[in-house]
């Protein structure tokens, strides 16, 4: 489906996603603790389950753990990740549902799934932020440039971006398999909405989506306020972490492909004009669909 036709067909759902993002941002972007209990409370309970720490609620600060000197404040709620994951699920996949009825169901699913996923991921991020610095110090790993603030930024970017990449790749694979089973093939001979290109190119979508919300929008806000202090360093760290995660993901994919080829060599080879050529199972599947 062409871009214009896709917008006409699913424009209502795209608009719903945009309005939802604005509503979350301007309703809760500067909210106090009592206005964010719907997010802070389940996140805190999940952190307590993971870490074994005990928290008490302070109306002015949020959830406080005195023994660990930890405060889960409104800024730690994970609201921005909720918005990013919700928008990514909606804009990347709503046009692949095949009908408006299914698109409506998918839109509601995006809202619910992003809420649950945010609680899961943010709890892991906070727990890692509590214990990882202590583990590094005990192991004698000390880097002068890696201040507590920078380490906090690294952990946050690594956990959030990795989670976003997993979220996208998981649903890209699930919907792709469902579409192949139902033989919903477009006029070009490819499944509806299936991302073109190779593995690396498909990973660019969640990367661009993440960087747009984490760096792009805040940049314009800082420019309007004429206050860019600390932003260049934050941007460099965030981009560096994202590149590191993408590099690790690509290395892992190549390793798994090599292991698969070693264990099941026949599944990774198809006869070619000059002999055998190396093919991944995904490439074999897509080739079968095209021809």
pLDDT for the residue 4: 63
Q: Rounded to whole angstroms, how far apart are CA atoms 124 and 138?
A: 21
Q: Rounded to whole angstroms, how far apart are CA atoms 148 and 44?
A: 22
Looking at per-residue pLDDT, the higher value among 221 and 154 belongs to 154
Instruction: Classify 139 as helix, strand or coil.
Output: coil
Mean pLDDT of 145-154: 87
pLDDT for the residue 290: 37
With cut-offs at 50, 70 and 90, classify the pLDDT of residue 39.
very high
Q: Is the dihedral of CA 137, 229, 82, 211 positive or negative?
A: negative
Residue 189 DSSP symbol: S
Q: Rounded to whole angstroms, how far apart are CA atoms 265 and 95?
A: 36
Looking at per-residue pLDDT, the higher value among 107 and 282 belongs to 107
Q: Is the dihedral of CA 33, 35, 41, 47 positive or negative?
A: negative
Q: Rounded to whole angstroms, how far apart are CA atoms 147 and 188?
A: 52
Per-residue pLDDT tens digits for 115-145: 999 999 999 999 999 998 888 877 777 777 7
Mean pLDDT of 6-27: 88
pLDDT for the residue 225: 80
Q: Give the whole-number percent of the chain exceeding pLDDT 90.
A: 51
Per-residue pLDDT tens digits for 184-213: 444 444 444 444 345 556 788 899 999 999
Residue 270 DSSP symbol: E
The pTM of the whole model exceeds 0.85: no
For residue 197, how far is the Cα from the chain centroid?
Answer: 20
pLDDT for the residue 195: 41
Looking at per-residue pLDDT, the higher value among 166 and 140 belongs to 166
Per-residue pLDDT tens digits for 246-285: 999 889 888 988 888 888 776 655 554 444 444 444 444 4
């Amino acid at each position: 489906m062409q871009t214009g036709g896709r917008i006409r067909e699913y424009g209502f759902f795209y608009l719903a996603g945009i309005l939802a993002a604005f509503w979350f941002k301007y309703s809760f972007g500067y909210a106090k603790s009592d206005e964010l209990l719907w997010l802070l409370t389940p996140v805190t309970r999940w952190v307590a389950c993971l870490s074994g720490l005990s928290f008490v609620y302070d109306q002015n600060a949020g959830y406080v753990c005195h023994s660990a000197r930890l405060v889960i404040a409104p800024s730690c709620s994970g609201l921005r990740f909720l918005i990013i994951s919700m928008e990514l699920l909606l804009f990347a996949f709503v046009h692949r549902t095949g009908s408006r009825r299914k698109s409506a169901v998918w839109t509601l699913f995006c809202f619910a799934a992003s809420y649950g996923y945010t609680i899961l991921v943010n709890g892991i991020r906070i727990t890692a932020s509590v214990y990882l610095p202590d583990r590094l110090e005990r192991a004698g790993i000390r880097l002068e440039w890696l201040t507590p603030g920078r380490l906090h930024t690294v952990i946050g970017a690594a956990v959030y971006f990795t989670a976003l990449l997993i979220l996208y790749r998981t649903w890209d694979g699930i919907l792709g398999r469902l579409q192949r089973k139902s033989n919903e093939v477009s006029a070009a001979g490819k499944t509806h909405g299936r991302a073109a290109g190779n593995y690396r190119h498909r990973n660019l979508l969640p990367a661009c989506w993440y960087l747009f919300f984490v760096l792009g929008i805040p940049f314009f806000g800082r420019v309007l306020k004429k206050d860019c202090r600390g932003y260049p360093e934050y941007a460099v760290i965030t981009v560096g972490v994202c590149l590191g995660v993408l590099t690790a993901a690509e290395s892992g994919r190549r390793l798994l492909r090599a292991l698969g080829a070693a264990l099941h060599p026949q599944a990774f080879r198809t006869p070619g004009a000059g002999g055998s050529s190396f093919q991944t199972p995904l490439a074999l599947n897509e080739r079968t669909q095209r021809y």
